[in-house]
Amino acid sequence: MVSIEDQVIAQIKNNEEGTIFLTEDFAHIANANALRVALYRLVKRGVLYRLASGIYVKPKISQLLNQMVLPSLNEIAQAIAKRDKARIIPTGSFAMHALGLSEQIPLNVVYYTDGKARKIKIDNRSITFKKVSPKKLALKGKISKLVVLALTEIGKDNLTKNEEAKVVKLLKDEKLEDLRHDLQLAPQWIAEIMAKAL
């Protein structure tokens, strides 16, 4: 009979290094307790790396640095959201960094969600999910969504002309229908800036 560990290995074998797995991905193999033991053993053997409770990654080693490369907090957050069938959007500081308006990489990332509110610690970093109204999650555009969140964080009085110009330039790459959709949901002063990209 094939052991639980071997069944888990067979499932992760076909995935690339750096792929994130959640305990639920293996739920069809065994019950929760037996699975917990098997995953614990696979972490000990180095087959998987435990990021947080119930969250694992297939180790990816950087040849250059000769050390493990962990997935980004955003990749981990997206995997959790997919599992929970929840919508998430990053809050201001992450949005600012993603748009190139801030050099600072946030160590602790906060997402708005319509799923469960919680905080997950990953080494010295953390992901926080904050429950919000569906309206805040209704933003659609990949770029325009980040713009609304980043500008809200910066604030009307602190936005420089340079930052505004950068945002308008980025928005020109947004899908027109998404830009028009998000423009309707943005605060008035942000909507006026976004309209310059139309």
- Integer angstrom CA distances of residue 4 from 16, 50, 61, 154: 21, 18, 25, 50
Are the CB atoms for 120 and 80 separated by under 8 Å?
A: yes
Residue 175 has a pLDDT of: 93
SS3 50: strand
Mean pLDDT of 78-105: 88
* 174: nearest Cα among 194, 153, 151, 154: 194
Residue 148 has a pLDDT of: 92
Mean pLDDT of 62-67: 82
Q: Tokens standing for 35?
A: 């699975």
Domain boundaries, the chain: 4-62, 73-195
Residue 168 has a pLDDT of: 94
Residue 36 has a pLDDT of: 92
pLDDT per position as a tens digit, 139-183: 889 999 999 999 999 999 999 999 999 999 999 999 999 999 999
Residue 93 has a pLDDT of: 85
Question: Which residue would you say has higher pLDDT here, 120 or 124?
Answer: 120
Residue 2 has a pLDDT of: 82
CATH number listed for the domain at residues 4-62: 1.10.10
Residue 163 has a pLDDT of: 93
SS3 117: coil
